[in-house]
Amino acid sequence: MSGYRTTAPVTWCPGCGNFEILNSVEAVLAELLGEGFKRENFIIVSGVGNHAKIVDYLDMNSFNSIHGRAIPVAEAIKLAKRDSKVICFAGDGDTYAEGLEHLIFAAKRNAGIVVILHNNRTYGLATGQFTPTSQRTYKGGTMPYGSPENPFNPLELLLSAGATFIGRGYPVRKDHFRKLLKDAILHEGFSFIDVLQVCVTYNNLYSAYNEHVTEIEVKDPADIEEARKVIRSWDYLSTDVPIAIGKFYETDKPGYEEGFIKFTDNELEEEGRSEKIKHLIRELI
Amino acid sequence: MQGLNILIGGETGYGINETGITLCRLLSRLGYSVYMYNDFPSNVRGGHQFALVRASLEKISAHKIKVDAVIAFHQKAIDLHQAKISPETIILFDSESVSVEEGYLNAIGLPLPKILFEAKAKREWGGFCMIGALCKALNIDPAVLKDLLKDHYPGAEETVLRLAETGYGIAGRLGAIDAPNVSSGLPAQPVLSGSQAIALGLLKAGLKAYVAYPMTPTSPIMEFLAAAAPKLKIQTVPPESEIAVMMMALGYSYMGIKNAVGTSGGGFSLMVEGLGLSGIAELPALIVMGQRAGPSTGMPTYTSQTDLHFVLNASQGEFPRLVVAPGDAEEAYYWSGTALNKAWKYQIPAFVLTDKVLNLGFFSFDPSIVDDLVEEDPVIWDGKGEYHRYKDTDTGVSPLAFPPVSGQSIKTNSYVHDEKGIVSEDPAIAKGNTDKRLLKERHLSVELEQYETVKQYGEGRTALICWGSNKGVCIETAEKFGLKVIQPVLLAPFPEKALKQALQGVDRVITVECNGKGQLAMLMNQHGFHADKKILKYDGRPFSVDELEKEVKEAMA
């Protein structure tokens, strides 16, 4: 798969959960290109954090944005070029904390972007502080006696906000994760995966996840009540209960971009612009 | 008649602005140059709002204190403006809610609620009745008003014409002032707000998308563009916050879609993180920053020039930025478009620094300048070899390519990056990134020497130096005292050469600004220019010609 890599050295910790996300993205891309998708039509966007390094490693169109701000960039890219596939990589500190507003609004609008959220439930690059989804027992440098706050359930928020594809994945379950990833990318509209990405250094949950992660299949992905039930079956508070992974919800709704004019390369249209401007000015006499 | 000053006062939300604009268009069609200042509280309805409409045979963009006529929709329009009126002032008032004391020689009451009820018209349209009455009072041909209302109120013309005719019928000739057609020979000029002029200039320079969160005083830019969007094939986007606004703008820029954002100080505070991204990632950005009275919420509907240094210095790190401050509608049009062109040519953030007076004021606009502004093409990649987004060049400007390009990866980055756009912490690359950005600034600075970046009006050994919307009031005041006016339209990169040239023969400098610290004087000082005297006003209101005349007289003494 080296055809998709840049020469940038990979600087994640050995055993980092991000490796399997990177490998899976490459594998799914290879499949999609084999099915007729064009590589240049993919644009990947990241925030800032360990997740964001993925855009340096992939030899693709990319926009490494700032902390918490991948999503508005991705929304504009999609508005600019409607037939592009825009994939946002985001982190839990990055997008569940700093940039939550953008996530909720992208779901509300059903913006045609894919968000892959690397949820390691800690700040990695900032070296081990609690995030909006850290388990209640988590102790880090800024709260050595434990967190005073409960985590929230981001998937419940997204379901309420209007996301049209919601899933949770665990990349260690490789085949399951890759299928989920491919489904998410193929979905038209706002598509979201909460990825249980393990931070080996600051919040090593491999053994807890290996024991408790449970693949589930909903009967009807368009059934919002069933989705809500599955999503509520795990509240991120603890890690010693069953943790559902899979596609929880998928439905069709008109995309955000449909409410805007579509840009074309029509030069005749451009030439008429000067006259239209003069007309607008004349109307103000 | 050389000029006419009219006060329109009433409750906010009941057509004061619309009455003022209609009056501006009427006077413009008669051959006058017009200007309107609009003063209103931060209320949707209620409270006292007033507009000052001024018409002149000279080009103007400032108001005067004394008025020739008052249109009073409520009592405060007279009671709060005693200093502006005299016994001779023409007063047209709503006779059901306003009482006018004896002693005013030219007052006439119109029973507005009754007239509106009979015409089945909404309260906001009382102004048409008043303007009809004013036509009679000033000996204005009612046919001009009739044509104007027909043009602007298609579908409702029967009602608005009836209101105007009723007003005309009630009023008589009042006082000794005539405002007949001055037939200057020129066609009637359009009347634009500064915001509309900005929007049109951006469109002429190739704007494809406009992104904004609502905020006084720049919201009318969005409203104007949103209404024109289907016709002009542009996208107008109102996201969740100014943070998202700026980030979306940069997403568009990455894709090659020329765009702009608009806000005021509070919103710009949120945009600052995105501004830095524009700087390091070399993504073009155009920010219309309409100043209002701060800090924080301040006085949202009042003006200031307090954010010059905020705009010059916002964001961590060092990167070039273009800052222009237009002074009237024509400059707003021309420099907004030019700033957009340069933002793309140099791949930098560019600011159009305005204020409430310019954004929400209305001005006669000379359409003959429209062809002076053309869209410039940015430097585009020639398609040869492997694409490097940040390729080193002699000018620091790397050729642009936009996705999708077959066989190429187009990478942009908020981190220090190599030529390909991949993160680096290498010291030589880090230094190279900064050098590249500063090199662009030097080239931009040289190119701008071909533009009239420092404007000069009149002659004199004493110069008034002003920026932005103080242009008009300074020119009028300077004419009276025989002074020179120097107006730097470009504020960054600072036009040192042009200012030095403008100051030749000047031995006394008085700066005029709407802030408490003298921010232009501070900036000039950084570049070795000294102000002998600073005239400052920071009560949220712009200088009237009368006020500035008094201040200048004192400063000269």
Which CATH number do you get for residue B270? 3.40.50.970
A–B CB contacts, 8 A cutoff, strictly below: 174
Is A8 in Cβ contact with B367 (below 8 Å)? no
Q: How far is A138 from chain B (nearest CA, A)?
A: 30
Q: Round to whole Å and give the CA distance between A24 and A20.
A: 6
Q: Name every chain A residue with its beta carbon within 8 A of the beta carbon of B237.
A: 76, 79, 260
Residue range of the domain that includes A227: 2-256
Residue A1 has a pLDDT of 37
Q: Name every chain B residue with its beta carbon within 8 A of the beta carbon of A80.
A: 209, 251-252, 255-257
Is B255 in Cβ contact with A81 (below 8 Å)? yes
Q: Indicate the residue among B320, B353, B372 that finishes a domain.
A: B372
Is residue B396 assigned to a domain? no
Sheet holding B322-324, edge to edge: B235-237, B209-212, B259-263, B285-291, B349-355, B322-324, B490-492
Strands B259-263 and B362-364: unpaired
B423: nearest CA partner in chain A: A56
Give the count of beta carbons closer than 10 Å to the beta carbon of residue B12: 18
Do B205 and B343 lie in a common domain? yes
In three-state secondary structure terms, B300 is coil
Is residue B473 assigned to a domain? yes
Residue B205 has a pLDDT of 97
Q: Round to whole Å and give the CA distance between B216 and B266.
A: 10
Is residue A165 assigned to a domain? yes
Q: Round to whole Å and give the CA distance between B128 and B8.
A: 12
Is B254 in Cβ contact with A73 (below 8 Å)? yes
In three-state secondary structure terms, B354 is strand
Q: Indicate the residue among B170, B202, B226 that finishes a domain.
A: B170
Question: Is the pLDDT reported for residue A87 higher than 60?
Answer: yes
Residue range of the domain that includes B135: 3-170
Exposure letters B283-318 (e unless 16+ CB within 10 A, then b): bbbbbbbbbbbbeeebbbbbbbbbbbebbbebbeee
Do B151 and B299 lie in a common domain? no
Strands B362-364 and B191-193: antiparallel
Question: Is the pLDDT reported for residue B273 higher than 50?
Answer: yes
Is residue B446 assigned to a domain? no
Q: Round to whole Å and give the CA distance between B218 and B76.
A: 28
Q: Round to whole Å and give the CA distance between B493 and B246.
A: 22
**What single string gives the DSSP state of each residue in chain A?**
-GGGB-SPPP-SPTT-THHHHHHHHHHHHHHHHHTT--GGGEEEEE-SSGGGGHHHHB-SEEEE--TT-HHHHHHHHHHH-TTSEEEEEEEIIIIIIITHHHHHHHHHHT-SEEEEEEE-SS-TTTTS---TT--TT--BTTBTT--SSPPP-HHHHHHHHT-SEEEEE-TTSHHHHHHHHHHHHH-SS-EEEEEE--BTTTB--HHHHHHHEEE---S-TT-HHHHHHHHHT--SS-SSS-EEEEEEEE-----GGGGSPPP---HHHHHTHHHHHHHHHHTT-
Is B404 in Cβ contact with A66 (below 8 Å)? no
Give the count of beta carbons closer than 10 Å to the beta carbon of residue B399: 15
Nearest by CB to residue B233, choosing from A65, A261, A278, is A261
Which CATH number do you get for residue B478? 3.40.50.920
Q: What is the pLDDT of residues B68-114, one digit of tens each?
A: 999 999 999 999 999 999 999 999 999 999 999 989 999 999 999 99
CA distance readout (Å), B369 to A32, A158, B197, B331, B419: 52, 51, 12, 10, 41
Give the count of beta carbons closer than 10 Å to the beta carbon of residue A139: 13
Preceding omega of B404 cis (within 30 degrees of 0) = yes
Is A80 in Cβ contact with B252 (below 8 Å)? yes
User: Where is pLDDT greater, at A129 or B261?
Assistant: B261
Q: ipTM score here?
A: 0.98
This prediction's pTM: 0.97
Strand ranges inside B468-547, DSSP E: 484-488, 490-492, 508-513, 533-536
Residue that is written with structure tokens 């046919």 in the block: B143
Residue B465 has a pLDDT of 98
Question: Is the pLDDT reported for residue B476 higher than 90?
Answer: yes
Q: What is the pLDDT of residues B326-341, one digit of tens each?
A: 999 999 999 999 999 9
Nearest by CB to residue A72, choosing from B190, B230, B247, is B247
Do B358 and B289 lie in a common domain? yes
Q: Name every chain B residue with its beta carbon within 8 A of the beta carbon of A274.
A: 204, 370
Nearest by CB to residue B367, choosing from A73, A261, A281, is A281
Which CATH number do you get for residue B84? 3.40.920.10
Q: CB-based contact (8 Å) between B400 and chain A?
A: no
Question: Is the pLDDT reported for residue B30 higher than 70?
Answer: yes
- How many domains are contained in chain A? 1
Burial class (CB in 10 A: 0-12, 13-18, 19+), B103: exposed
Which residues lie across from B291 on neighbouring strands? B355
**Average pLDDT score over residue span B362-389:** 95
Q: Name every chain B residue with its beta carbon within 8 A of the beta carbon of A10.
A: none
Is residue A68 assigned to a domain? yes
Strands B33-39 and B362-364: antiparallel
Is residue B364 assigned to a domain? yes
- How many domains are contained in chain B? 3
Confidence of residue B46 (pLDDT cuts 50, 70, 90): confident
Nearest by CB to residue A282, choosing from B190, B233, B420, is B190
Do B309 and B265 lie in a common domain? yes
DSSP single-letter state for residue B190: P
Is residue B77 assigned to a domain? yes
Q: What is the pLDDT of residues B220-239, one digit of tens each?
A: 999 999 999 999 999 999 99
Do B230 and B363 lie in a common domain? yes
Q: How far is B271 from chain A (nearest CA, A)?
A: 12
Sheet holding B508-513, edge to edge: B454-457, B484-488, B462-466, B508-513, B533-536
Mention every residue, 6+ apart, whose C-beta is less than 8 A from residue A189: A110, A111, A112, A164, A165, A252, A253, A255
Is B404 in Cβ contact with A38 (below 8 Å)? yes
Question: Is the pLDDT reported for residue A33 higher than 60?
Answer: yes
Question: Is the pLDDT reported for residue A268 higher than 70?
Answer: no
Q: Name every chain B residue with its beta carbon within 8 A of the beta carbon of A77.
A: 251-252, 254-255
Which CATH number do you get for residue A52? 3.40.50.970
Nearest by CB to residue A56, choosing from B237, B403, B423, is B423
Residue that is written with structure tokens 């009275």 in the block: B293
**Average pLDDT score over residue span B352-359:** 98
Q: Round to whole Å and give the CA distance between A195 and A170.
A: 6
Tokens coding B395: 């000018």
Q: Round to whole Å and give the CA distance between B476 and A263.
A: 46
**Average pLDDT score over residue span B255-273:** 98
Is residue A261 assigned to a domain? no
User: Where is pLDDT greater, at B468 or B172?
Assistant: B468
**Average pLDDT score over residue span A254-268:** 87
Averaged pLDDT score across all residues of chain A: 95
Do B68 and B195 lie in a common domain? no
Chain B, 238 to 277: residues with Cβ < 8 Å from chain A are 239-241, 243-245, 247-252, 254-257, 273-274, 276-277
Is residue A47 assigned to a domain? yes
Is B251 in Cβ contact with A72 (below 8 Å)? yes
Which residues lie across from A5 on neighbouring strands? A58
Is residue A13 assigned to a domain? yes
Is residue B421 assigned to a domain? no
Position A34: which residue type? G
Nearest by CB to residue A40, choosing from B241, B276, B406, is B406
Q: What is the pLDDT of residues B199-222, one digit of tens each?
A: 999 999 999 999 999 999 999 999
User: Where is pLDDT greater, at A57 or A147?
Assistant: A57
Q: What is the pLDDT of residues A165-217, one digit of tens each?
A: 999 999 999 999 999 999 999 999 999 999 999 999 999 999 999 999 999 99
Burial class (CB in 10 A: 0-12, 13-18, 19+), A223: middle
Q: What is the pLDDT of residues A36-63, one digit of tens each?
A: 999 999 999 999 999 999 999 999 999 9
Question: Is the pLDDT reported for residue A2 higher than 50?
Answer: no
DSSP single-letter state for residue B307: -
Residue B184 has a pLDDT of 62
Position B297: which residue type? T
Q: Name every chain B residue with its beta carbon within 8 A of the beta carbon of A55.
A: 411
Q: CB-based contact (8 Å) between B530 and chain A?
A: no
Is residue A88 assigned to a domain? yes
**Average pLDDT score over residue span B129-136:** 97
Is residue A43 assigned to a domain? yes
Question: Is the pLDDT reported for residue B318 higher than 50?
Answer: yes
Do B230 and B298 lie in a common domain? yes
Q: What is the pLDDT of residues B432-444, one digit of tens each?
A: 999 999 999 999 9
Q: Round to whole Å and give the CA distance between B286 and B104.
A: 51
Do B207 and B340 lie in a common domain? yes
Residue A270 has a pLDDT of 67
Is residue A18 assigned to a domain? yes
Preceding omega of B493 cis (within 30 degrees of 0) = yes
Q: Name every chain A residue with its beta carbon within 8 A of the beta carbon of B190.
A: 281-285
Mention every residue, 6+ apart, whose C-beta is less than 8 A from residue A269: B233
Q: Name every chain A residue with its beta carbon within 8 A of the beta carbon of B189.
A: 285
DSSP single-letter state for residue B470: G
